[in-house]
Amino acid sequence: VTNSETSTATVLGLGAMGSALARALLTAGHPTTVWNRSADKAVPLVEQGAVRASTVAEAIEASPLTIVCLVDATAVHELLDEAGDALSGRVLVNLTSGTPEHARTLADRAVHYVDGGIMAVPPMIGGPDALVLYSGSGEAFAAHRPVLESLGAARYLGEDPGLAALYDFALLSGMYGMFAGALHAYALVGTEGVPATAFNELLVPWLDAMASTLPRVAEEVDSGDYGSDSPLAMQATGVASLIEASRAQGITPDLILPVKRLMDEAVAAGHGDSDVAALVRVMARGAPR
């Protein structure tokens, strides 16, 4: 395989994200073949220099590396059914969002399989802030790393194909937790006419300060040796007041209630003297289905 062959790529799926991926490959100078179920979405990419394939198999056979980015894992399975043997000896990088289990099931269908999680929105692809997480065949990832790096920073996590999806969801969990807390805060001060933009002057440095405590929280999660500076029994009482105050201001406490429930469970399980890291213990016991 020559260098020019290893730098060519195929993109299957030209929605908002797939089109951004193909554009970034073309911009970085990689000869790119594209295919989409609705053929018209290939037109702007062909104008940028992409080659349009008329079938999935033809698209896959055009490059040693195929990147697939569809709506969900079911669509990827359908596409692989359509591909027949075309993938044989070729690398499949699946950047469609799915669960770790979806990734492991898809990995069973392609010998050289890499799964990925895109930590970016389409306009960020190819730019300095885009990050893509990868897991699965380390050999396949290493062989195509230079091409994949034109999409964004590439972080390889290990041979288990489910790891990229797991990390992706864990990062999203952190994000949604932060947004949920911030939105509750805006709603609460909003009841007294305080604009969210004005409140940010206090909220953003506060969240920065709290984020700076995460190294200590993480150490406690790993060691199971919890600190007691802010014991959960005290925090649970404080959060009960927060919930009462929210209701009194006419705000639903829906985003805060699950935190209170876990705190109560942790206190009941004997973690009243531990700080917030002990909540992970309660979560690890699983949730009622």
Ligand X SMILES: NC(=O)c1ccc[n+]([C@@H]2O[C@H](COP(=O)([O-])OP(=O)(O)OC[C@H]3O[C@@H](n4cnc5c(N)ncnc54)[C@H](OP(=O)(O)O)[C@@H]3O)[C@@H](O)[C@H]2O)c1
CB of 91 to ligand X, least distance (A): 19
Residues whose CB is less than 8 angstroms from the CB of residue 88 and which lie 6 or more positions away in sequence, other chains included: 111
The tokens for 9 are: 């790529």
Single out the residue of 79, 91, 107, 266 in contact with ligand X (rule: CB under 6 A).
Answer: 79
17 binds ligand X (CB under 6 A): yes
78 binds ligand X (CB under 6 A): yes
CB of 278 to ligand X, least distance (A): 33
- How many whole angstroms separate alpha carbon 169 and alpha carbon 262? 20
The gap between the terminal CA atoms of the chain, to the nearest Å, is 51
Helix and strand element counts for the chain (H, E): 13, 8
The tokens for 11 are: 């993109």
122 binds ligand X (CB under 6 A): yes
Residue 130's closest CA among 27, 8, 44, 13? 27
227 binds ligand X (CB under 6 A): no
Find tokens 């949604």 and name the residue: 176
Single out the residue of 9, 18, 61, 185 in contact with ligand X (rule: CB under 6 A).
Answer: 18
118 binds ligand X (CB under 6 A): yes
Single out the residue of 10, 32, 33, 36 in contact with ligand X (rule: CB under 6 A).
Answer: 36
Whether the CB-CB separation of 10 and 63 falls below 8 Å is answered with yes
Cα distances from 107 to residues 17, 73, 129, 171, in angstroms, run: 21, 11, 28, 23
24 binds ligand X (CB under 6 A): no
Only segment of 84-92, 114-122, 219-227, 259-267 that touches ligand X (CB under 6 A): 114-122
Only segment of 2-10, 32-40, 137-145, 279-287 that touches ligand X (CB under 6 A): 32-40
- The burial of 91, by beta-carbon neighbours within 10 Å (0-12 exposed, 13-18 middle, 19 or more buried), is given as buried
Q: Which is nearer to ligand X, 94 or 274 (CB)?
A: 94
13 binds ligand X (CB under 6 A): yes
Residue 278's closest CA among 289, 288, 263? 263
Only segment of 74-82, 157-165, 196-204, 261-269 that touches ligand X (CB under 6 A): 74-82
**Cα Rg, the chain, nearest whole Å:** 24
148 binds ligand X (CB under 6 A): no
Single out the residue of 41, 102, 271, 281 in contact with ligand X (rule: CB under 6 A).
Answer: 41
96 binds ligand X (CB under 6 A): yes
Single out the residue of 121, 214, 268, 283 in contact with ligand X (rule: CB under 6 A).
Answer: 121
| DSSP one-letter code for 271 | I
Whether the CB-CB separation of 110 and 84 falls below 8 Å is answered with no
CB of 15 to ligand X, least distance (A): 2
CB of 128 to ligand X, least distance (A): 17
212 binds ligand X (CB under 6 A): no
Please report, as ranges, the residues that interact with ligand X according to CB under 6 A.
Answer: 13-18, 36-38, 41, 69-71, 75, 78-79, 96-97, 118, 121-122
